Amino acid sequence: PIDPATIPYSGFADITVAGVACRAIRTGFVGELAFELHHPRRRGPELWAALLDAGREWDVRPHGLDALELLRLEKGHVYLGQDTMPDDTPAKLRMRWAVDITKPWFVGKQALERMAELPPSRSLVGLEFDGGPPATAELRGEPLLLSDRVVGRVTSAEHSPVLDRAIGLGWVRAVDGVFPDRLHTGSGAVATVAPTPFYDPEGGRMRG
């Protein structure tokens, strides 16, 4: 069985799939109910073929990195190296929940405590775009401006067919202690700060 009671979201179990021993890890990077199947490398081709054959009646098809980029962006998931910078902290990434600061000790705890006493200077935010280049992905890397002042940049951008709008992530610096919520890009697109995840914010689909 692979139902939610047996393998809850972010849980795992050792199972056999098409005769191949796998460790199934229930994940949600793309925002849908999903499993990673960790298996012996030499059994990969037969497992792949078996999965495609089993899903033929549902028109199952593999997807590539372009689809993965859009699906993870709809969930507001961060790509390390693309959406992040070397001096990032959980707070700047709006991921304070990822660190239990109440633990007695861990590497970096004192630094995080000291930085928490400082006023926030910049933050990674969700963005919704209106206008700009025809290919939304071209917004990636563009500066974010408040009037004529550069206060950030777009790190990820795509058009979401399921949401019917252009979405993205970007860094924004505080201006006089306040984070602006309406900006424009170098190409003239209006960028409005929006909450993430953009898609299924309650996480019902990947936990269902």
Determine the pLDDT at residue 1.
Answer: 87
Residue 201 in this model has a pLDDT that exceeds 80: yes
Mean pLDDT on 155-160: 96
- Longest pairwise C-alpha distance within the chain: 62
* Residue-averaged pLDDT of the chain: 93
Mean pLDDT on 26-32: 87
Tally Cβ neighbours within 10 Å of residue 177: 8
Q: In this predicted model, what pLDDT tens digit does every residue of 56-93 receive, in sequence order?
A: 999 999 999 999 999 999 999 999 899 998 888 898 89
Mean pLDDT on 12-30: 94
What's the alpha-carbon Rg for the chain, to the nearest Å? Answer: 20
The set of residues, in sequence order, having a beta carbon less than 8 Å from that of 145 and lying 6+ positions away, is 151, 183, 184, 185, 186
Dist CA 182 CA 144 (whole Å): 10
Dist CA 93 CA 89 (whole Å): 6
Q: In this predicted model, what pLDDT tens digit does every residue of 95-113 receive, in sequence order?
A: 899 999 999 999 999 999 9
In the chain, the percentage of residues whose pLDDT exceeds 70 is 100
Triad 3, 9, 10: Cα angle to 5°: 130
Residue 208 in this model has a pLDDT that exceeds 80: no
Q: What type of residue sits at position 68?
A: L
Determine the pLDDT at residue 120.
Answer: 83
Dist CA 35 CA 163 (whole Å): 24
Residue 133 in this model has a pLDDT that exceeds 90: no
Determine the pLDDT at residue 29.
Answer: 82
- Reply yes or no: is the peptide bond before residue 197 cis, omega within 30 of 0: yes
Residue 207 in this model has a pLDDT that exceeds 90: no
Dist CA 144 CA 24 (whole Å): 41
183 — pLDDT class (breaks 50, 70, 90): very high
